[in-house]
Chains A and B, each alone.
Chain A
């Protein structure tokens, strides 16, 4: 599904080139559950951004579902992001002035779906995540766990095949974090490819595959057979 070949990402900081990613080669099959770990500044977020088409590699090739992503223009990349990729962020990135319902509805709105059809889908998605009663609440009226659940509902509303989560439990307490992780893993069991960037070693142990980055290079790619440990 995902195929990175010799990917390099260079930033210029004060005129000096800084290598955020170097010689990254990676294949991810559909339905995998992958953790990306490493210290701050090791390039894990950059890798996730490139996979999520928010950033472009400076060099190398990125294929998503067999298509070369390095030759697409911004409009085309936006289309692909909308239909194939869902994002979950550490700081939720909900729009404060919109209700939970409207936040989840946003991708459907952008896709140009009719209002009547949107309504049913958003309500189903919110109910599935136990947020049926909170649809009219604005983000500042929700708890952290609830906010992240709204964000997950939004990420999944377009039914993408891949979910990219950047420190999804980073801003949550333990209980809420476990709850959110359980939801993400349940989605993975149903066939969604799940990539999680995390600092948390506990999450790293739960995944089937764990990638370790250091200074922009993949230093370890461990296939764990343990599977899902109980929380």
Chain B
């Protein structure tokens, strides 16, 4: 029998039993759609995080005081004091050609009060560069002035939420408020940004670096955010920073430099694993659909015993009979998988429409795997009924026994 004729014959059977075919297609389609939608969610989450990172600036290095390794052995012969990271260290880094800009940070928490209302708020001490390094946007007014970072100034920029809580509908820019026991004038308000990697920018007040050091009575920096000129230079910049600081700290490696890529890679790995896991769970429904196909095929072999007997009497070889039943399974699986693909794509489309900020997208490997598993399990599970049909005794089958 020619393969095309075989498929055509199987097609006539499939289209004849409409309800049965419809139900099988639904089961198959739901399975494929589930895999596509769930992996799309996982992949969407991964892309969402990646986008968050790139919103932070993709070529960012974070310099932390203190080292990130275990030391031991005998106590040092000479006195060894852990050195702070200072403003001077940060300024020294700006001389490197590889670094485009940097923002030293002092972080603390203080009470911000205005007209009887007060609120415990994150205080960020930094320089004018922070705006560009953290990709912040202003809603009103202006950002910190580009002064000498060693000089304090009584100005502040408020996060969106702080502004709303303290000022309500009144204008904030130009007003004076208190942070801790010092007075600051509001010169700008940040656009809402939301949670961005652990720091809630909306619930933050930004003041000049030196003012923050005075406020929290510290000479050291919490960290320095460094933006590298080109992404390829990240590793070299990391080395350059370590070398520079070592020279300034009398040969001691007492800072840690984290690259953005390292953090991103970790998130990436976690979310990829998660996507695989949910995809795998969804794939179980495909296997269930495969078993359903086997079940229906077995019933079909019983129902069509006489027809199989007739085919045998007409000289159909066992191989062709197997082919006919496998062909039916293949048609059901392909249609079901196709329908699932359409439903999945439609679901992704609706999801994107409802949540435009969430980059919902099924990874290509999940789509291929869903189709492969659907068609593979259908054929695998159809093998048993097909073989049973091929082995029927023609005389018994013709008599319908």
Contact = CB atoms under 8 A, between A and B. Distances in A.
Interface in A89-145: 89, 93, 95, 97-98, 102, 106-107, 109-112, 115
B151 interface: no
Nearest to A98: B12
A175 interface: no
Contacts of A110: 1, 311, 314-316, 320
A54 interface: yes
Contacts of B317: 74-75, 78-79
A93 B398 CA distance: 8
Contact of A54 (B1, B320, B395): B395
A81 B307 contact: no
A54 B313 contact: yes
Contact of A82 (B5, B314, B394): B314
Given A97-B12, A97-B16, A98-B12, A87 B313 contact: yes
Contact of A81 (B13, B309, B313): B313
Contacts of A171: none
A65 interface: no
Contact of B398 (A54, A78, A79): A54
Contacts of A158: 315
Interface residues of B, number: 24
B223 to A, nearest CB: 75
Contacts of B311: 106, 110
B319 A75 contact: yes
A154 B5 CA distance: 17
Interface in B312-338: 312-320
A115 B5 CA distance: 9
Contacts, number: 69
Chain A residues touching B, range: 20 to 34
A109 B315 contact: no
B306 interface: yes
B9 interface: yes
Interface in B206-244: none
A115 B4 CA distance: 10
Contacts of A98: 12
B312 A54 contact: yes
B310 interface: yes
A82 B313 CA distance: 8
A112 B1 contact: yes
A186 interface: no
A49 B9 CA distance: 27
A83 B316 CA distance: 11
A89 B12 contact: no
B97 interface: no
Residues of A contacting B: mostly: helix
A55 interface: yes
A57 interface: no
A78 B395 contact: no
B2 interface: yes
Interface string B367-401: 00000000000000000000000000011001000
B383 to A, nearest CB: 18
A52 to B, nearest CB: 7
A84 B320 CA distance: 19
Contacts of B314: 81-82, 87, 106-107, 110, 154
A109 B2 CA distance: 8
B10 to A, nearest CB: 12
Contacts of B394: 49, 54-55
Contact of B318 (A52, A75, A81): A75
Interface string B1-20: 11001000100110010000
Contacts of B398: 54, 89, 93
B19 to A, nearest CB: 14
A187 to B, nearest CB: 18
Nearest to B9: A109
A102 B11 CA distance: 13
Contact of A95 (B307, B313, B319): B307
Contact of B395 (A49, A83, A106, A109): A49
Contacts of A112: 1-2, 5
Interface in B285-318: 306-307, 309-318
B316 A78 contact: yes
Most buried by A among B315, B319, B394, B395: B315
Nearest to B15: A97
Given A52-B313, A78-B316, A79-B315, A109 B306 contact: no
A55 B392 CA distance: 12
Given A55-B395, A112-B1, A112-B2, A78 B12 contact: no
Most buried by A among B1, B313, B317, B395: B313
Contacts of A87: 313-314
A111 B5 CA distance: 10
Nearest to A87: B313
Nearest to A102: B12
Q: Which are the 6 A-B pairs with shortest beta-carbon distances?
A: A82-B315, A81-B315, A97-B16, A78-B317, A54-B394, A93-B310
23 contacts: A49-B394, A54-B312, A54-B313, A54-B395, A55-B395, A75-B318, A78-B312, A78-B315, A79-B317, A81-B312, A81-B313, A82-B314, A82-B315, A82-B316, A93-B306, A93-B309, A106-B311, A109-B1, A109-B5, A110-B1, A110-B316, A111-B315, A115-B5
